[in-house]
Amino acid sequence: MVTIDDLQVELESEAGLVRAIDGLKLSIERGETFALVGESGCGKSMTALALMRLLPEAGYVAGGEIHIGAGRDAIDVLALPEAQMRAVRGGRIGMIFQEPSTSLNPVMPVGRQIVEAVEAHTPLRGAAARAKAIDWLRRVGIPEPERRFDDYPFRMSGGQKQRVMIAIALAAEPDFLIADEPTTALDVTIQAQILDLLKDLQREHRMGLLLITHDLAVVSGMAQRVALMYAGQIIEVAPADEFFAAPKHPYARALLRALPGGDRRSGPLEAIAGTVPPMSQDFAGCRFAPRCAAVMPHCAGTRPELLDVAPRHGVRCLLYAPGAPQPAPALRPVPAPAAAATPPEQLAAASTPAATPLLDVHDLRVRFPLRGGLLQRVIGHFDAVGGVSFQVRQGQTLALVGESGCGKTTTGKAIVQLLRRVATVEGRALLDGHDLLDMHGAQLQAARRQVQIIFQDPFASLNPRMRVAEILDEGLAALQPDLDAGDRRARVERLTEQVGLRRDALGRYPHEFSGGQRQRIAIARALAVQPRLIVCDEPTSALDVSVQAQILNLLRELQRELGVSYLFITHNIGVVEYVADFVAVMRAGRIEEQGACADVLARPTRQYTRALLAAVPRLQMV
């Protein structure tokens, strides 16, 4: 279905020529699911954009070939004129983009955007195209699709926008689909529904699927083959069952050891130290050598080739080069940066609630106005949150879980007073006994020094006209005016390294980063003023496994040292098992079940909680 041979993609930047993809080779068969995994910034999304000929303005294909189809039906993608490529793009090749907020047209109803794709690539028109669009909204799990057809993207949650993107990509039923983080913003039940839908389409149409994701549990349940990328190259490719049962490359083994879970709660995750190297440099040896636990003296000066170590199993590592010592050296654990094992006394304290909660939310209600008619008058109200109550205790973490659209993010935004102009908020949210919902002016600004939020969509929350250094310094200057410029700069540089970014990132703009890297910037911004409570809205959803481990270690270390508390909004149950002391399960704006994390996850009492946990993809660890 797809053949990529010796693909070279380069981008012109202020730092010089960036070789984003260097000699990529892969082939994907009809009906096959091929997973492309690796750290943020390693070239996964750039591979997809090159396949679709949607590279950024500064990027271009410097060499190689891309073919769609086989034999006489094969199409040379790079040789097609743009007019013909438009028919291929969306018709024969569909793509689910990583960030729905930047991919959906903000001034067009979501239903019209699906109709646009249907009419461009199928014979359907008018009412038939509308019916097809509504059917796809229903198939991807949008409730009340006839009504939501006319909604604009801003009225939908992050997960719902992601489902709309999936509907647009699948509406023309393409032969080949590129799914770039298709389930990142989805809860586990909708994720299971979408993955089942993709499997059904593959069976019906023998559709090929290039799955780009950092969720290794999804990969293990979906893919027939897996390719691991690092610094623009594939460093291991193998059948999925072999990859997870016996990974060969040190990087692959380290990734699997970095996965969070309840069994690893007693200590820090084995995060991989360092970051992906800048692709503007010339490499003399192995690109992973500076971070490798099994590095050998000659790794720094010898470039490894992709070697076949078994049928259909290739590894780019000098451990497997002819003449290398056998068996390969055992891998030593990689110490996690800036993290330490949680002391037994803290683990014991986690199960014993403190006397006074830091945050006490009581009967919180959020109502949004529904407008209609020519003058857009208020014709009713929608209860997004219908009376929730919970507590977050000093130095502990409450995880808020539930399906997309159940009110988790709305709850978090209401607590930090970000909905005052667009919704009616009632109830109480007491921080140390003072109601956040009653604060105004200077009192509210002082409270923002104590409470920060990490937003779900980092691209929408970062000012595109400000450099990273300015973004991180802005909050410090406003909320901690006692710090001088030198102290603020030192803290910004330290934060940048703590969240896994190089210092040269400080001089760049948000659009120059990948989705995962932008999320790290958003996390650094929230941590900058050293708050007592952080509302974490899907803080690790856009992060790959290794960076997720770094961030979780950092959040736990800050909690251990500073006593910071977290309201952790997420759909990643593995993360909940690792970080949460207590968990509250939301459904349709209400708390369905809450209690100690171990009790709720091990012995759920409500059918909804049991169904939610049953939908969680599980990876058999090596």
Q: Are 143 and 151 in contact (CB under 8 A)?
A: no
Is the pTM of the predicted complex or chain greater than 0.95? no
Domain span holding position 13: 2-223
* Chain centroid to CA 66: 28
Give which of 113, 116, 115 is closest to 130, Cα–Cα: 115
- Tokens for 33? 């699911």
pLDDT tens digits for 156-179? 877 788 889 889 998 888 889 999
- 273 found inside a domain: no
Task: Judge if 124 and 188 occupy the same domain.
Answer: yes
Task: Judge if 574 and 486 occupy the same domain.
Answer: no
The one-character DSSP state at 386 is E
Q: Which residues pair with 3 in a beta bridge?
A: 27, 67
Residue 232's φ and ψ, nearest 5 degrees, are: 85, 0
**Omega before residue 174 within 30° of 0, cis:** no
Task: Judge if 601 and 568 occupy the same domain.
Answer: yes
Q: Are 532 and 564 in contact (CB under 8 A)?
A: yes
The reported pLDDT for the residue numbered 535 is: 95
The reported pLDDT for the residue numbered 620 is: 55
Task: Judge if 14 and 60 occupy the same domain.
Answer: yes
- 439 found inside a domain: yes
CATH of the domain at 421: 3.40.50.300
Task: Judge if 473 and 593 occupy the same domain.
Answer: no
Q: Are 499 and 524 in contact (CB under 8 A)?
A: yes
- 40 found inside a domain: yes
Q: Are 225 and 34 in contact (CB under 8 A)?
A: yes
Task: Judge if 485 and 355 occupy the same domain.
Answer: no
Task: Judge if 41 and 29 occupy the same domain.
Answer: yes
The region, left, alpha or beta by phi > 0 then psi within -120 to 50, assigned to residue 595 is left
Q: Are 335 and 271 in contact (CB under 8 A)?
A: no
Neighbours of 403 (CB within 10 A): 24
Task: Judge if 19 and 63 occupy the same domain.
Answer: yes
Q: What are the residue ranges in the chain where pLDDT is below 70?
A: 185, 324-355, 542, 620-622
The reported pLDDT for the residue numbered 330 is: 42
Q: Are 114 and 133 in contact (CB under 8 A)?
A: yes
- 99 found inside a domain: yes
Q: Are 213 and 226 in contact (CB under 8 A)?
A: no
Residues in CB range of 131: below 8 A, 6 or more apart: none
- Give the count of domains, the chain: 3
- 324 found inside a domain: no
The reported pLDDT for the residue numbered 99 is: 76
The reported pLDDT for the residue numbered 185 is: 65
The one-character DSSP state at 273 is P
The reported pLDDT for the residue numbered 50 is: 94
Task: Judge if 186 and 91 occupy the same domain.
Answer: yes
